[in-house]
């Protein structure tokens, strides 16, 4: 008992000491009473916020110095520190590879435009469209993520929401007159009407309010801050600040070491004649000569990067990414002799990198992603970069790309760990200065015009620590090393080169941790090594467009549960599809098109999670697989030997948007339930889930041509049943597919008439019903298909007058209607009865429906015809945005803007509704 008692006392003493120590409120064991007025200020603060994360649950009782997040002065009991931050909400630097995994040199508009500014302008909504664009575009995903950083807490990256306080900060916090540290950072749901209360915190040294919404109509936030002469660190990222004063009469902030104004939509403009500096960075900023860390990432800054930066000689961290800077890096950069990290990514820099750059001997991280760099990089710019570890430079200047021109034998003073050079010129030979980089772990040398082989010595030098290797889009030849082990490589991208030889048969021993393998568009030959089915972590296997032969590996097994994509299309693979592929339970995209595969589709594949199946261009036979799950969105089996009927069970494929069964031996009728393909009807959902590091490709015949779609594939809607022996009529249900873009039923034995309300299919661009046995008149509603650019009704038994008006005015090729002896009217030479005297298109005798359409849409028809392909859907309000991202390349930017609306909407309907 005695011992126990002693223990208890001892424990009590320890505990008390612990508490006092934790609270830091006490010089000895005597508890400091917290000052009443300060306690009241804290209570008022608490009353003003919603404490969803429960951060303030300990804020009860008198002793405020022991409340969580509160620290007091030892002697006087004043509150000196208040820390209620939400660390998870802080933006991180250099996470571009996470945020922008696929952004390539397509888009010159700065990331700001793409990811922020417009998001608030776009108001009108179509969830389905935005969902699609969002899913479709890698940019969009990146935007969503950026949006998180930009304060959109309800975006899909909402991990932080629960940890954020919400509500309004009361001005009473200004009563904590001895406060030196105030950290409310990362609370994206907090707001404050102004910062006036901050100006009375005259002892403040550290102020972190990132994420807190500061009333953007207030222009005087800086004046409040300027009253804090002791301020050392100021962090106001993502505060929705709009006004950045360009001038100040006097600057108090002489001790400021850290200034973070990133992710704010400053509305900056440069009034050229009156702005001698040609930049929106305010001049007072260059008086902050104590600065060590300056962060203006995504803050809408414009103009040139000034020589004045040279005055900030103490800078260690300079982040200027995601703005509109152009021109060259100023020579004065060489003055920043302590610089460790420099980020100029996502700007419009179209000049050169000065020689003085070579003086930055302390530089560790250099990020120059996505600009239009030009000029030449020689040893001079790299000579003294002795500390450099991460070197990232990509350019989108196609006309005069940046050239690396260093002496052949130059040995750099740095040992890089991360190297990403893209779209600049470092070839044609694999440079020697790279060959001595032995500590590389992450290498992207993409589109850098390397011609020739990769020295095997370099591979062996880096093989051990390498995790990521991307040499895509060069002219690299030679074969893959067959002995070298790359134990840590997870991503290997060698697509679009001239690699040849076999894929090493022991690849599972050489690269046991591979997750992503893309060898497409090379000259690899030989068999696909069996051992590929032993790489346990494999997620993506893309061997498209090589000369591989033999059969598919047979020994797939359950250990490869991570495999989601297998694309072996455009090779010479023969034999059957192995039924062991059924063990790949998570396989969702299986592309085996354009090989010599034969036999039936193994029913074991129903154990996979296939959402996209492309077996086109083989010699597969048997019945169509009726077991295909309802969540498939692409089913492409064209150009095979399939026979039998189209299974009625497929009617439940509600996600289906590409059904291509053309060129087979199918018979029977077209099921009368295609109206169940609700992905092909205007609908408000997108089911597409993008897969990291993979963009699905497929060839679709549309508008009379075959196109290879990639990033926009999810937006293509197509039913192609041509070249079979289908009989019966065209089921009227098909006309409810208002979002269908391509309908090709040609070269079958279909009879009956064209459904009267075919005009409902507003999205239809391609309609081919040729070479059937259709009879009756061409429905007048056809003229309301304002998107139609490709029409073929030839070789049927259609009769009567060809309807006119609208889009049909532009489809004046007589071959559209040829082979229908009983058709008459323009554009056929055969005149209809009663038209003999008229030359041009006539509207007399046209029924009412047609007449209305003729008048109403002749203008539209002209415009539509003029815009032809991409422009057609401009006229369809709800779909035009989607369609923009449908038109590859050109429309990236707009796709993004749409994606931003998602963000906007989420914000609108999410936490901000209160």
Ligand X SMILES: *[C@@H]1O[C@H](CO)[C@@H](O)[C@H](O)[C@H]1NC(C)=O
Task: Give me the residues that bind ligand X (CB under 6 A), please.
Answer: 28-29, 202, 223, 226-227, 229, 248, 250-252, 284, 287, 326, 350-351, 355, 358-359, 380, 383-384, 428, 438-439, 451, 464-465, 475
- CA–CA separation, 531 vs 796, rounded Å? 54
Nearest distance, CB of residue 351 and ligand X, angstroms: 6
Nearest distance, CB of residue 677 and ligand X, angstroms: 46
Q: Nearer Cβ to ligand X, position 252 or 362?
A: 252
Q: What residues does 591 pair with on adjacent strands?
A: 567, 614
Concatenated DSSP letters of 306-323: PGGGGG-TT-SEEE--SS
Structure token pair of residue 447: 């589109």
Nearest distance, CB of residue 399 and ligand X, angstroms: 9
DSSP three-state, residue 70: strand
Nearest distance, CB of residue 513 and ligand X, angstroms: 15
Residue 473 burial (CB count, 10 A): 21
Q: Nearer Cβ to ligand X, position 485 or 681?
A: 485
Burial label for 871, CB within 10 Å (0-12, 13-18, 19+), is: middle
Nearest distance, CB of residue 67 and ligand X, angstroms: 21
Structure token pair of residue 702: 């549309």
Nearest distance, CB of residue 311 and ligand X, angstroms: 8
- CA–CA separation, 607 vs 581, rounded Å? 9
Nearest distance, CB of residue 545 and ligand X, angstroms: 19
Q: Nearer Cβ to ligand X, position 231 or 864?
A: 231
Residue written as token pair 């197509």? 718
Q: Nearer Cβ to ligand X, position 248 or 887?
A: 248
Q: Nearer Cβ to ligand X, position 216 or 229?
A: 229
Of 722, 731, 680, the residue nearest 701 (C-alpha): 722
Measuring CA to CA, how many Å separate 258 from each of 12, 290, 297, 311, 514?
43, 9, 14, 16, 41
Dihedral class, residue 298 (left if φ above 0, else alpha if ψ from -120 to 50, else beta):
left
Pairing assessment for the beta strands 442-446 and 403-404 based on DSSP bridges: unpaired
Query: Which helix (H) or strand (E) segment is 659 a member of?
Result: strand 658-660
Concatenated DSSP letters of 509-561: HH-TT--EEE--SSEEEEEPPGGGGG-TT--EEE--SSEEEEEPP----GGGT
Structure token pair of residue 295: 């962060």
Q: Nearer Cβ to ligand X, position 25 or 808?
A: 25
Q: Nearer Cβ to ligand X, position 360 or 846?
A: 360
Nearest distance, CB of residue 270 and ligand X, angstroms: 11
| C-beta separation of 280 from 301 below 8 A | yes
Nearest distance, CB of residue 393 and ligand X, angstroms: 17
Nearest distance, CB of residue 180 and ligand X, angstroms: 15
Q: Nearer Cβ to ligand X, position 283 or 842?
A: 283
Concatenated DSSP letters of 861-911: HHHHHHHHHHHGGGG-HHHHHHHHHHSTGGGHHHHHHHHHHHHHHHHHHTG
Q: Nearer Cβ to ligand X, position 204 or 895?
A: 204
Nearest distance, CB of residue 127 and ligand X, angstroms: 36
Residue 98 burial (CB count, 10 A): 10
- CA–CA separation, 872 vs 243, rounded Å? 41
Q: Nearer Cβ to ligand X, position 275 or 630?
A: 275
Q: Nearer Cβ to ligand X, position 250 or 274?
A: 250
Nearest distance, CB of residue 789 and ligand X, angstroms: 36
Q: Nearer Cβ to ligand X, position 380 or 852?
A: 380
Q: Nearer Cβ to ligand X, position 464 or 775?
A: 464
Nearest distance, CB of residue 631 and ligand X, angstroms: 44
Nearest distance, CB of residue 227 and ligand X, angstroms: 5
- CA–CA separation, 513 vs 498, rounded Å? 25
Nearest distance, CB of residue 221 and ligand X, angstroms: 12
Q: Nearer Cβ to ligand X, position 474 or 786?
A: 474
- The angle that helices 138-149 and 127-136 make with each other, rounded to 10 degrees, is 100
Q: Nearer Cβ to ligand X, position 284 or 459?
A: 284
- Cα–chain center distance at 627: 34
- CA–CA separation, 272 vs 274, rounded Å? 5
Degrees, nearest 5: CA angle 258-259-261: 150
Residue 14 burial (CB count, 10 A): 10
Torsion angle defined by CA atoms of residues 278, 282, 285 and 286, in that order, rounded to the nearest 10 degrees: 30
| C-beta separation of 150 from 264 below 8 A | no
Q: Nearer Cβ to ligand X, position 117 or 248?
A: 248
- CA–CA separation, 95 vs 263, rounded Å? 14
Torsion angle defined by CA atoms of residues 806, 809, 813 and 815, in that order, rounded to the nearest 10 degrees: 50
DSSP three-state, residue 282: coil
Report residue 551: phi and psi, to 5°. -100, 170
Nearest distance, CB of residue 98 and ligand X, angstroms: 21
Nearest distance, CB of residue 273 and ligand X, angstroms: 15
Q: Nearer Cβ to ligand X, position 465 or 738?
A: 465
Structure token pair of residue 639: 């150009």
Structure token pair of residue 307: 């020589």
| C-beta separation of 140 from 896 below 8 A | yes
Q: Nearer Cβ to ligand X, position 127 or 255?
A: 255
Nearest distance, CB of residue 474 and ligand X, angstroms: 9
């Amino acid at each position: 008992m005695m011992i126990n008692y002693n223990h208890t006392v001892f424990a009590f003493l320890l505990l008390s000491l612990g508490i006092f120590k934790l609270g830091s409120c006490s010089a000895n064991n005597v508890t400091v009473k917290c000052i009443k007025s300060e306690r009241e200020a804290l209570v008022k603060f608490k009353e003003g916020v919603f404490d969803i994360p429960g951060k303030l649950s300990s804020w009860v009782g008198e002793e405020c110095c022991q409340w969580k997040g509160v620290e007091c002065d030892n002697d006087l009991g004043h509150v000196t520190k208040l820390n209620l931050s939400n660390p998870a909400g802080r933006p991180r630097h250099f996470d571009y590879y996470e945020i922008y995994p696929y952004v390539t040199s397509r888009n010159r508009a700065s990331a700001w435009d793409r990811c922020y500014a417009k998001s608030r302008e776009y108001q009108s909504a179509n969830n389905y469209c935005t969902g699609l664009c969002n899913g479709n575009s890698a940019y969009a995903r990146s935007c969503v993520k950026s949006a998180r950083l930009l304060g959109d807490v309800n975006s899909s990256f909402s991990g932080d929401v629960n940890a954020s306080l919400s509500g309004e900060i009361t001005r009473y916090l200004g009563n904590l007159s001895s406060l030196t540290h105030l950290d409310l950072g990362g609370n994206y749901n907090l707001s404050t009407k102004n910062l006036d209360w901050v100006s009375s915190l005259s002892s403040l040294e550290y102020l972190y309010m990132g994420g807190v919404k500061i009333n953007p109509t207030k222009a005087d936030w800086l004046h409040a801050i300027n009253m804090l002469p002791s301020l050392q660190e100021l962090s106001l990222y993502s505060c929705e600040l709009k006004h950045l004063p360009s001038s100040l009469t006097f600057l108090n902030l002489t001790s400021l070491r850290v200034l973070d104004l990133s992710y704010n939509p400053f509305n900056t403009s440069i009034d050229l004649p009156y702005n001698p500096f040609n930049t929106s960075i305010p001049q007072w900023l260059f008086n902050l000569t104590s600065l060590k860390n300056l962060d203006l990432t995504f803050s809408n800054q414009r103009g040139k990067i000034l020589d004045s930066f040279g005055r900030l000689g103490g800078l260690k961290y300079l982040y200027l990414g995601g703005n509109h800077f152009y021109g060259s890096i100023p020579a004065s950069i060489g003055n920043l002799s302590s610089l460790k990290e420099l980020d100029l990514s996502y700007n419009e820099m179209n000049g050169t990198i000065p020689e003085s750059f070579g003086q930055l001997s302390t530089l560790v991280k250099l990020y120059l992603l996505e600009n239009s760099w030009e000029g030449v990089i020689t040893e001079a710019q790299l000579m003294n970069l002795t500390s450099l570890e991460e070197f990232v430079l990509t350019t989108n200047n196609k006309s005069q790309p940046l050239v690396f021109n260093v002496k052949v034998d130059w040995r750099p003073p740095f040992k890089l760990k991360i190297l990403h050079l893209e779209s600049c010129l470092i070839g044609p030979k694999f440079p020697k200065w790279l060959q001595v980089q032995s500590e590389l772990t992450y290498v992207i040398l993409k589109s850098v015009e390397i011609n020739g082989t990769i020295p095997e010595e370099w591979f062996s030098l880096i093989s051990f620590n390498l995790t990521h290797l991307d040499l895509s889009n060069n002219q690299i030849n030679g074969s893959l090393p067959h002995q070298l082990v790359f134990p840590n490589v997870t991503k290997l991208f060698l697509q679009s080169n001239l690699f040849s030889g076999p894929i090493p048969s022991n690849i599972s021993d050489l690269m046991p941790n591979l997750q992503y393998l893309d060898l497409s568009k090379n000259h690899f030959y030989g068999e696909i090594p069996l051992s590929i089915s032993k790489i346990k972590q494999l997620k993506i296997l893309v061997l498209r467009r090589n000369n591989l032969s033999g059969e598919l590996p047979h020994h797939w097994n359950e250990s490869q549960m991570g495999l989601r994509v297998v694309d072996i299309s455009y090779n010479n693979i023969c034999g059957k599809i192995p039924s062991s592929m059924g063990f790949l339970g998570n396989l969702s995209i299986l592309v085996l098109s354009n090989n010599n595969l034969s036999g039936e589709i193994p029913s074991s594949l129903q154990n996979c999670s296939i959402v996209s199946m492309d077996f086109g261009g083989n010699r597969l036979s048997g019945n169509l697989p009726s077991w295909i799950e309802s969540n498939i969105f692409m089913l492409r089996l064209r150009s095979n030997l399939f026979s039998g009927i189209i299974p009625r069970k497929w009617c439940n494929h509600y996600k289906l948007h590409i059904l291509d069964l053309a060129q087979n031996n199918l018979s029977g009728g077209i099921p009368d339930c295609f109206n169940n393909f609700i992905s092909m009807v205007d609908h408000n959902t997108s089911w597409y889930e993008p897969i990291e590091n993979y963009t699905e490709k497929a060839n679709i015949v549309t508008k009379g041509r075959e196109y290879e779609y990639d990033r926009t594939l999810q937006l293509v809607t197509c039913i192609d049943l041509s070249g079979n022996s289908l009989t019966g009529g065209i089921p009227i249900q098909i006309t409810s597919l208002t979002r269908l873009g391509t309908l090709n039923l040609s070269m079958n034995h279909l009879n009956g008439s064209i459904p009267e309300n075919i005009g409902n299919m507003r999205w239809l661009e391609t309609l081919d019903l040729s070479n059937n046995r259709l009879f009756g008149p061409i429905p007048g509603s056809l003229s309301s298909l304002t998107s139609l650019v490709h029409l073929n009704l030839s070789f049927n038994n259609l009769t009567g007058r060809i309807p006119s008006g609208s889009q049909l005015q532009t489809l004046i090729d007589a071959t559209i209607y040829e082979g229908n002896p009983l058709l008459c009217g323009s554009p056929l030479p055969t005149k209809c009865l009663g038209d003999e005297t008229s030359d041009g298109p006539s509207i007399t005798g046209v029924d009412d429906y047609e007449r209305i359409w003729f008048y109403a849409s002749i203008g539209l028809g002209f415009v539509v015809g003029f815009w032809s392909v991409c422009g057609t859907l401009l006229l369809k309000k709800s779909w035009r945005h989607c369609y923009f991202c449908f038109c590859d390349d050109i429309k990236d930017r707009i796709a993004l803007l749409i994606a931003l609306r998602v963000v906007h909407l989420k914000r609108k309907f999410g936490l901000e509704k209160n």
